[in-house]
Structure 1
Amino acid sequence: MSFHPAYFNTRFRVQQLPSSWPNSFVIVTAYATTGERWPAEENKRSDEELTRRAAELGGWSLRVTGYDPVTGHAEPGWALEVDLETGVGLGREFRQDAIYRVEGDRLVVVSCGENGVAAVGGFRERVD
């Protein structure tokens, strides 16, 4: 399984750093999946639905925007303290190729289709 190179360049913006990060969480977006373009209204509607789903799940959550520092492309999403199965399920529900998983400070990209996983690097060094 090979992942689109964009997954390895992503950095993350948060409005305010949390006092502490959970030991493990996922990062999920609902915008057009890598390589696709959706109308702005569809991205917005999908993001609003993900926001509702995140609230329904309860628990720790944080608004996170993943962005490419070279191209400037950015997508809002959610960091959610849920297990990997739930995170991948959300990714599939919102038509994503992959999600991110953070364990400690280790960031990996996880396929929503082919069960592939690839190490990306440290998470906190990518947070702005």
Structure 2
Amino acid sequence: MLPKRILVIDDEENLCTIIKISLEYLGGWQVLVATSSSEGLLLVQTELFDLILLDVVMPDMNGLVLLSALRINPVTRTIPVILLTASTQPVNSNESAQLGVAGIIIKPFDPVDLPNQIKVLLRWE
């Protein structure tokens, strides 16, 4: 069975590195990283993913705006999306439910527990 493919879209490069290491070594998944919303948008048009981990606050395009664009596209509308957000940044639960968010992971999170959090949210395994 092929490993799950995950796209991480977050402008914090160091955090992306930590997430990538955590998910590849502890989760056994293949991880690609985009450090901007526009880069992430390009990747989802050329690659297939089982999950997108999406930062909410980014400089070039808000994560929720990007998620809206993903939901409009027939190719990307069914990809599960988990939002990454700092606890001080409120995420509107009505808006996230309307956009089909699979879950929310609050920063900072434990990289050792991250694969388990994802498995629980998506009911993987």
Q: TM-score, normalised by structure 1?
A: 0.32
- Higher strand share goes to which structure? 1
Q: TM-score, normalised by structure 2?
A: 0.32
- Higher helix share goes to which structure? 2
